Amino acid sequence: MDTSIRVLVVDDSSFYAQVVADTLATDYDMTTMKANDAREGLERLDTADVDCVVTDYQMPETNGIEFLETARERGFEQPFILLTGTGSEAVASEAVAAGVTHYFQKDEGEQQFEKLANQIDNAVEQRRTEQKYELLVNNSPDLIAQINADGEFVMANAAMAENLDSTPTALTGQSLFDVVPDDVAERRLEIGREVIETGTTRRFEDGYDGEYFHNVFASVDLPGERETFQVITRDITDRKEAEIELKETVEKLEESNAQLEQFAYVTSHDLQEPLRMVSSYMQLLERGYKEDLDEDAQEFIDYAVDGANRMKEMINDLLKYSRVDSRGGEFEQTDFESVVEQATDNLQVAIHESGAEVTHDPLPTAVCDESQMVVLLQNLVSNAIKYCDEETPEIHVSAERDGENHVFSVSDNGIGIPEGESDEVFRIFSRLHGNDEYSGTGIGLAMCQKILDRHEGDIWLESEVGEGSTFYFTVSAGGIGDE
């Protein structure tokens, strides 16, 4: 891409125009072209790409300022540098008012060309930077505008204009109060004036007519402009609607969970009462008529009492399952060695009766609900003891760091789980063995899954029939390393 500066030199003195053009081309590596009056200069602007115009002020028929005004009317926005042979405050004032980029008085000597070249360089560089910014602003999907302290639009990009059912040109000069509700305009103008006064940037959200916006207001100091502030607004209606919908969904879910918990509590209470009655009357029957009962009748009573007890246990486990989300504790840094100790203390009787050996490696701390982790470890260790045909059940707990999580494992030497059944065991009430082989309700591993769901963790297993199983689960390390 050619980045050399293209300069049009306009002067009624052919000699001076030639000297300026040749010096800029030879000594400062600029591409130059010449014109001897305003008419020829305009023709050049119509047919050539020009980055900067250097024009004499005193020219026949049309002076340099009039030339500038005509060029601007034709859409030429590049820098204009005005040359004059004699300094005049009136001319300088007129030049600034007309939008001249630089006002340059001719003098003798080589230094004037160096000064002129520096002014051209600076003016073109600034203009190119402005063009890049304008391109970025005009193509931005964000709504961008500059507004003065009276609330009038100084400029607006296409996205802002489209949002306000207007065009950038039509919006320029309009008031905020013409395009948005008065209360919104008053609030935005109040914030804009505060930004102008303090020079701080403000970020806030507002909305109207069912639309929501995130706004950034920043102070802008433009030469020749009254005090303004820049507005960058992003339409966040879709996001807000999604947030509202999500909030409503969460509220409905919380209400549903509360109803479910209440249902589970009432159901368990209503079911346990007749079960207690069945169990109690069976025991009364056994005590009162024990001498009159034959062996079959005694067996039937035992079956009935055992069934009632198992149903009661299932109801209690179901109630605990339903309360994992609603009755959980706070997530805190938790020492997992303490978790294992609590779980094994709760299983002292089963460990003693089975002769199980429960060991563990040094374990880390993790961010979790300690009481629920005790339940999880207790269920895994209890299952390891229960589903073991060996004389001595052996259970080992270990952990390793994996990114932001700790991966815990509980290994055993039990009967193992058949291939293809590893997902099935985590489903509520799912049992791979009949109650005559191994007692249980089928809720223990489902409870583990639900606890890990609440912790946004995972649980899975590796197993081989006859060789034992290893259950893995992940818990957030919370940025704390292994201890």
pLDDT of residue 205: 86
pLDDT for res 8: 93
Give one DSSP letter per residue of 399-425, joined into a string.
EEEETTEEEEEEEE-S----TT-TTGG
Tokens standing for 140?
Answer: 């931005």
**Residue environment code for 365-379, b if the CB has 16+ CB neighbours within 10 A, otherwise e:** bbbbbbbbbbbbbbb
Please state, rounded to an integer, the average pLDDT across all residues of the chain: 84
Instruction: Give the confidence band of 225 by pLDDT, cuts at 50, 70, 90.
Output: low
- Sorted by sequence, the CB contacts under 8 Å of residue 152 that are 6+ apart come out as 173, 174, 175, 176
> H helices within 105-236, ranges in order?
111-138, 158-163, 168-171, 176-179, 182-198
Per-residue model confidence (pLDDT) at position 151 = 93
Kind plus residue range of the DSSP H or E element containing 67: helix 64-73
In the three-class reduction of DSSP (H, G, I as helix; E, B as strand; rest coil), residue 49 is classed as: coil
| 81 pLDDT higher than 80 | yes
72 touches 44 (CB < 8 A):
no
Nearest residue to 19 (alpha-carbon basis) of 81, 112, 104: 112
Instruction: Name residue 405's amino acid.
Output: N
First-to-last CA distance in the chain? 60
SS3 91: helix
**What are 35's strand-pairing partners?**
10
What local confidence, expressed as pLDDT, does residue 460 receive? 94
Considering only CA atoms, which of 243, 239, 236, 189 is closest in space to residue 217? Answer: 189
Structure tokens at 5: 């500066």
Which is nearest to 329 in space by CA: 380, 379, 373? 373
Condensed to tens digits (0 to 9), the pLDDT of residues 172-216 reads: 999 999 999 999 999 999 999 999 888 889 998 888 888 888 888
Per-residue model confidence (pLDDT) at position 221: 66
The per-residue pLDDT for 439 is 62
Do 56 and 12 touch, CB atoms closer than 8 A? yes
Of 337 and 105, the one with more pLDDT: 337
In tens, the pLDDT along 270-308 reads 666 777 777 787 888 778 777 777 888 888 888 787 777
Quote the pLDDT of residue 1: 40
Q: Which residues pair with 220 in a beta bridge?
A: 228
* Residue 123 pLDDT: 86
Radius of gyration of the chain (CA): 42
Assign 280 to helix, strand or coil: helix
Closest CA to 152 of 72, 233, 234, 231: 231
Euclidean distance between CA atoms 67 and 57, whole angstroms: 9
Of 443, 420, 418, nearest in space to 430 by CA: 443
**Of 394 and 255, which is predicted with more confidence?**
394
> Which is more confidently placed, 56 or 326?
56
User: Given this model, what pLDDT does residue 482 score?
Assistant: 41
pLDDT digits (tens, 9 = 90+) for 15-47: 988 989 999 999 889 999 999 988 999 999 989
Residue 215 near residue 204 (C-beta atoms within 8 A): yes
Number of Cβ atoms within 10 Å of the Cβ of 275: 16
Spatial contact of 146 and 196, defined as CB atoms under 8 Å apart = no
User: If pLDDT is split at 50, 70 and 90, which confidence band does 455 have?
Assistant: very high
- Residue located via tokens 């402009």: 225
Alpha helices in 428-480 (DSSP H): 444-454
Who wins on pLDDT, 315 or 381? Answer: 381
Strand order in the sheet with 459-464: 357-360, 394-402, 405-412, 468-476, 459-464
pLDDT in tens, 463-479: 988 889 999 999 998 75
Is residue 312 pLDDT above 90, yes or no? no
Query: How does strand 102-105 pair with strand 357-360?
Result: unpaired
pLDDT at 480: 44
Q: Above 80 in pLDDT, residue 222?
A: no
Please compute the mean of the pLDDT values over residues 215-228 and round it to a whole number: 72
Query: What is the distance between the alpha carbons of residues 372 and 274, in angstroms, rounded to a whole number?
Result: 30
Residue 456, both tokens: 């946004």
Domains and CATH numbers, the chain: 6-137 (3.40.50.2300), 139-239 (3.30.450.20), 241-322 (1.10.287), 332-476 (3.30.565.10)
Summarised one tens digit per residue, pLDDT across range 229-260 is: 988 888 888 888 888 888 888 888 878 777 77
Q: Please state the rounded mean pLDDT for residues 258-266.
A: 71
Which residue type occupies 297? A
Residues whose CB falls within 8 Å of the CB of residue 269, separated by 6 or more in sequence, listed in order = none
Residue 171 neighbours by CB under 8 Å, 6+ apart:
145, 153, 156, 160, 161, 164, 179
Q: What is the pLDDT of residue 97?
A: 74
Q: Which amino acid is at 222?
A: L
Distance CA 42, CA 45 (A): 5
Residues 92-109 have pLDDT tens digits of: 777 777 778 887 777 766
Check whether 433 has a pLDDT greater than 80: no
Least confident of 2-11, 89-98, 433-442: 433-442
* pLDDT at 332 (0 to 100): 92
Q: How far apart (Å, rounded) are the C-alpha atoms in residues 56 and 106?
A: 9
